[in-house]
Structure 1
Amino acid sequence: MMKRILKKITIIVLAIIGLAIAFYFLFTNFYPSFGGDVSKARKLVYQKSPQFKQGIFHNSKAVPKDLNFSETLKLSYTFLTTNVPNGRPKKDLKVHKLDSAAVANYTKEARLVWYGHSTFLVQLKGKTILLDPMLGQVAAPHPLLGENRFNKSFPLAVEKLGTIDAVLFSHDHYDHLDYETILKIKDKTKRFYVPLGLGVHLEAWGVPKDRITELDWWQETQLEELTLVCTPAQHFSGRKFNTTRSTLWSSWVIQSKDENIYFSGDSGYASHFKEIGEKYGPFDIALMECGQYDKMWPDIHMMPEETAQAGIDIKARKIMPIHWAGFKLALHDWTDPVTRLKIAADKLNLPVLTPELGTEIIVKDSINTTTNWWKGL
């Protein structure tokens, strides 16, 4: 009798697992937000890259450690069940609004406008550029799979943006590359610049291949009088369990004859910051990852103190913390990144900008008028 019961239970459990696996493959293969897959033909091309080995991309150091299925489940369980005091602001973040005509006709000195997390509007030398434009409400493949972002509105709705000269992406994670955002900007964007492999997602979402430029680390390209450099980062990629590290991740350098900007993307602390600083610094401003860190994943995201040191390594005249004030993707207090960073940067005599969402950041400005606007929220 007991054997028959155990047999039935085993059959039911296996059936549930089988249904879950079948649902996962149907969901990931037919739901468009997962993007495209790197073909065998593209992999042959990527073999020329020093970063591409055994069919996937690698960091210069042997990180991160690949988690097995049970480790992945344990990490997911910890994240989903841990209560984080002050993990989110008490109310939606204030957003300063931009005038669409003023943005379209902007011809003054180089400036940045922060949209929260890692998204920026950049205007310099008559060009309008977006960095990691993630304008969705949830950093996940489906709205039911994540928490809403900290701001409901944006400085300027993407629908009101005019022609976009260039879009730069650092990697393909959901808090940086968003399907719905691409649908809104693809027809008004002249060119997309991405690290190797990421173009497969854009192509899957209808972006013509001839408007996508894929670059490896240390490769440069010109956008008229601007130089764009795809520079290293220590991170990983993947939009599905079976596509981890199938596309490359990067940071970016944006240079004109007058301005020099660094955008870190996502990265753990490593020697590449000094290498980039030696080759392309000093920078007028460095937009530095500072948020979504944890001792469980120390190699792929920096602790705030490391962010400050990376700012010194990169030879930045001033830094701005990014990858915070957008989403709850880790287990720390939502203001912990900026609070700790300011303390660490002060010890290093490194200026830190902390603008509210939507306020203008002049690239060459040496006067810091930003406030601790997050206090009490």
Structure 2
Amino acid sequence: MITTLIIVGLLVITYLLFTNFYPSFGGDVSKEQQVVYAKSEQFKNGKFNNTNPVPKDLSFSETVKLAFTFFTTKVPNGRPKVDLKATKIDSANIADYKGEARMVWFGHSSFLLQMDRKTILLDPMFGKVAAPLPILGGNRFNEEFPLEIEKLPKIDAVIFSHDHYDHLDYESILKIKNKTNHFYVPLGIRVHLEAWGIPANKITELDWWQDTQLDGINLVCTPAQHFSGRKMNNGQSTLWSSWVIQSKTENIYFSGDSGYAPHFKEIGEKYGPFDLALMECGQYNDMWSDIHMMPEETAQAGIDVRAKKIMPIHWAGFKLALHEWTDPIERVTKTAHALNLQVITPRIGEAIIVKESINTYTNWWEKL
């Protein structure tokens, strides 16, 4: 018994030391910051909460069972047979761009947006794995990007939806922080950015339904139904969100990660219709359907937010669930067609003109 207690104690101490000093875990919200966040309707009992009482807190045995299921279940066609080749874009093309609003997909949920001569990154995760350590995750589906991070020109703004590893990546932040003017995040995420050397005056935190201006572009932090945390002992310590991005001529919705819930209709009523909605579609399972949408729900959420067209995101990047890698895009396009909702399906790196009304994209994922 004594030997067992000593081993357990050593493991706990090792974990605490590792998570406190290994930089990719980020920062921790202080007691003083919690007092400030207590003004938010979403912050209760020291944690951020969804409007609905989800997600369910798993017991230790349930957590172990879920992890065992994920790591031992073989998924046929769980990954592409070959590396997903990205369409390349030149850095000068980005630096000198003065055309109408466009986006470039970097895979998963990461985008480069150019609007009103501003260059904006959404959830710029350029890491090889969606985990704090390389050994804890599988490699991403695209080895190369449309443009390497080091070649990105000046970035006017970076927007994050939440602090999970497939959206907020330590190494990516190190590579872009000195060329980025400002960061826009939901409440709490500043602790990670500040821990990684970003000055407080370059960070704007927002609660749900709060907005701010970026030289005439309206940025609105809107609800999502998800959760947060980068280690076992700081779950729900930071807020998660979706975003509305509005210029005088374009209106974009970025869902972040979210389960299907009434907030989509509320956002659509307040800020729609949207020229383009970037909608989470991938990494789902019945066991966690309250925090990630099924593809059929993704299409319905596009209707709810009053999108003229949707682009499925959160797929074709990482294997983080037990479905085939093409299942999200096949199911969402089928349902969207039945709902008379336009879906665009660009390749990684292919330019997306936000207000373009003609869908010229191919089913590029077939046979890969």
Query: Aligning the two structures, in what range does the TM-score lie when normalised by the shorter sequence?
Result: over 0.9
SS of residue paired to 1:344: helix
Shift of 1:293: 0.3
Q: Does residue 1:91 correspond to 2:82, yes or no?
A: yes
Q: Deviations over 1:178-224 (max 9, x none)?
A: 00000001111000000000000000000000000000000010001
- 2:197 aligned partner, one-letter code: G
1:154 has 2:148 as partner: no
Structure 2 runs not aligned, ≥5 long: none
- In structure 1, the partner of 2:176 is 185
In the alignment, the residues of structure 2 paired with residue 266 and residue 130 of structure 1 have an alpha-carbon distance, to the nearest angstrom, of 16
Distance 1:15 1:42 in 2: 35
AA matched with 1:375: E
1:278-289 map, 5 Å: 278-289=269-280
Q: Work out whether 1:123 is the aligned partner of 2:111.
A: no
Matched, 1:323 2:327: no
Deviation at 1:142, TM superposition (A): 0.7
Q: Tell me the CA shift for residue 17 of structure 1.
A: 2.4
Say what the alpha-carbon RMSD is for the aligned residues. Answer: 0.7
Alignment of 1:68-217 (within 5 A): 68-217=59-208
Residue among 343, 348, 351 paired with 1:352: 343
Q: What residue identity is the alignment partner of 1:146? A: G
Aligned to 1:270: 261
Q: Could you tell me which of 318, 330, 336 is aligned with 2:327? A: 336
> 1:221-253 deviations in whole A, cap 9, x for unaligned?
000110000000000000011110000000000
Distance 1:337 1:44 in 2: 40
Say whether residues 1:33 and 2:33 are aligned partners. no
Q: Alignment partner of 1:66: what SS?
A: coil
Q: How far is the alpha carbon of 1:14 from its aligned partner? A: 3.2
CA deviations on 1:88-108 (whole Å, 9 max, x unpaired) are 000110100000111100000
CA distance in 2, matches of 1:91, 1:45: 48
Shift of 1:12: 4.0
Matched, 1:365 2:346: no
SS at match of 2:9: helix
2:227 to 236, 242, 249: 236
Q: Which moved more, 1:66-75 or 1:327-336?
A: 66-75
TM-score where L is the length of structure 2: 0.99
Distance 1:133 1:20 in 2: 33
Post-superposition offset of 1:11: 4.0
SS at match of 2:180: coil
Corresponding residue of 2:239: 248
User: Which residue does the alignment assign to 1:43?
Assistant: 34
Q: 1:68 offset after TM fit, Å?
A: 1.6
Equivalent-residue separation in structure 2 for 1:24 and 1:193 (angstroms): 31
How many residues are treated as equivalent by the alignment? 368
Instruction: Look up the equivalent residue of 1:99 and give its one-letter code.
Output: D
SS at match of 1:187: helix
| 2:53 is the counterpart of 1:62 | yes
Counterpart amino acid of 2:185? V
The DSSP-based 3-state class of the residue aligned with 2:221 is: strand
Please say which of residues 123-132 and 15-24 is displaced more in the overlay. Answer: 15-24
SS state at 2:352 partner: strand
Larger radius of gyration: 1
For residue 361 of structure 1, report the CA deviation from its aligned partner.
0.3
**SS of aligned partner of 1:369:** coil
- Residue 53 (structure 1) aligns with: 44
Q: Which position in structure 2 is the counterpart of 1:308?
A: 299
CA distance in 1, matches of 2:18, 2:330: 40
Three-state SS of the structure 1 residue aligned to 2:178 is: coil
What's the CA shift string for 1:116-137, capped at 9, x where partnerless? 0000000010000000000000
Q: Which runs of 5+ in 1 are unaligned?
A: 1-9
Q: Residue 286 of structure 1: SS of its match in structure 2?
A: strand
In structure 2, what is the equivalent of residue 295 of structure 1?
286
**TM-score, structure 1 normalization:** 0.97
Percent identity of paired positions between Structure 1 and Structure 2: 72
Q: Secondary structure at the match of 2:213?
A: strand
Deviation at 1:70, TM superposition (A): 1.4
Q: CA deviation at 1:313?
A: 0.1
Structure 2 CA distance for aligned equivalents of residues 84 and 15 of structure 1: 39
Shift of 1:26: 1.3
Shift in Å at residue 144 of structure 1? Answer: 1.1
Q: Distance in 2 between matches of 1:15 and 1:197?
A: 35
Q: Secondary structure at the match of 1:80?
A: helix
CA distance in 2, matches of 1:42, 1:70: 32
Q: Deviations over 1:306-359 (max 9, x none)?
A: 000000000000000000000000000000000000110000000001100000
